[in-house]
Structure 1
Amino acid sequence: MAEKEYTLPRPEFTDPVKLLIVVAPFYRDIADNLIAGATAEIEAAGGSHEITEVPGALEIPTAITIAERLSNFDGYVALGCVIRGETTHYETVCNDSSRGITLLGLQGLCIGNGILTVENRTQAEVRADPAAMNKGAGAAAAALHLVALTRKWGGRRKGVGFMPAAEEYKLAGELKDNPKA
């Protein structure tokens, strides 16, 4: 018998939230189910979204990086599916797409990783199905929770810990102009 998974309560927002869903639709039907779950979760939280497609899971972190640099999204949802084949390409795609997303998250981006990495199509179908495991919604919920944390902790930096150079120089200038800041 499978254990019941705990799900955090849906975050609430006072200001609008906009997420970008980046999807690799290699398996179109699975991608469509992941998208359905993700969009329903975003809308249930009162958020809005845009969807963009990329050729494969390896391109998802790059697309998110471009969007972060050139757009104004609060967070990102990475969706796709990698099914084990006969070669080691599966490991490369799984590991590198996950590593890319993790590195972006460690840089402060709010990302929910919904890239399925499975042994067979049946596993993918169950995980993508909004009426079953609904991993698209889970990825959207993860991004929404990270956006909520960012907004909760988004006050002025105190100068403790890692700070990107641009912010460090900006803060230094503010402190020079206003020593009480």
Structure 2
Amino acid sequence: MAGQETHYTLPRPSFEAAPKLLLVVAPYYRDIADNLIAGAVAEIEAAGATQETIEVPGALEIPPAVGMAERLSDFDGYVALGCVIRGETTHYETVCNDSSRGLMLLGLQGLCIGNGILTVETRAQAEVRADPAAQNKGGGAAAAALHLIALARKWGGRQKPVGFVPAGGEASLAAEDDLSTTR
């Protein structure tokens, strides 16, 4: 049984400047969401970071909300929290796959995201996973985001260009940057 296994946990990262995280929560199952939030907030506070929490209607809305926050706000990282319990239709697969895929695509673009969207067969499984005194998946998602923030800060020097580089390569890009500062 998964609840009885032990797993290695990385030491909590430390930060010179406190990170600011956004918890994006789909509270469809309110009690489960509240436990996920409690675990995440405790982990964030233990790392000396700060957080804000927003709610969206469901798990499918979490990736777009994270994407909007990245474009329109100033968070260092994101924690996705929610729960999808298998039902009688294939909607479960759609919600699980698409919410996970959306978060992964954002992560591959460089966003620091901890995925705490539970995908379970039963409510009992969700309750154990969400409980801060049991599996604490909310805390685990927050820890994942914090570790990614630490990596981003470690490697946070000059950003490499993405995609097509025009003739002249990076020298042309540097010249364009110089021109844009004199305009």
Same fold flag (TM > 0.5): yes
2:158 alignment partner, SS class? coil
2:79 alignment partner, SS class? strand
Stretch moving more, 52-61 or 2-11? 2-11
Aligned to 2:70: 68
Gapped regions of structure 2 (runs ≥ 5): 179-183
1:77 alignment partner, SS class? strand
Aligned to 2:61: 59
Deviation at 1:176, TM superposition (A): 7.4
Alignment deviations for residues 62-98 of structure 1 (CA, whole Å, 9 cap, x no partner): 0000000000000000000000000000000000000
Q: Please give the alpha-carbon distance, in whole angstroms, between the structure 1 residues aligned to 2:163 and 2:139.
A: 31
Q: Pick from 97, 102, 108 the counterpart of residue 99 of structure 2.
A: 97
Runs of 4+ with deviation above 3 angstroms: 168-171, 174-177
Aligned to 1:156: 158
User: Which structure 2 residues correspond to residues 24-173 of structure 1 after superposition, within 5 A?
Assistant: 24-157=26-159, 159=160, 163=162, 172-173=173-174
Deviation at 1:163, TM superposition (A): 2.3
Q: Please give the alpha-carbon distance, in whole angstroms, between the structure 1 residues aligned to 2:176 and 2:16.
A: 30
Distance verdict in 2 for CA 1:126–1:106, change over 3 Å: same
Count of residue pairs the alignment pairs up = 173
Q: Please give the alpha-carbon distance, in whole angstroms, between the structure 2 residues aligned to 1:68 and 1:171.
A: 28
Deviation at 1:24, TM superposition (A): 0.1
Gapped regions of structure 1 (runs ≥ 5): none
Identity between Structure 1 and Structure 2 (%): 74
Specify the code of the residue in structure 2 equivalent to 1:172.
L
**Correspondence 1:7 to 2:9:** yes
Deviation at 1:4, TM superposition (A): 1.3
2:6 alignment partner, SS class? coil
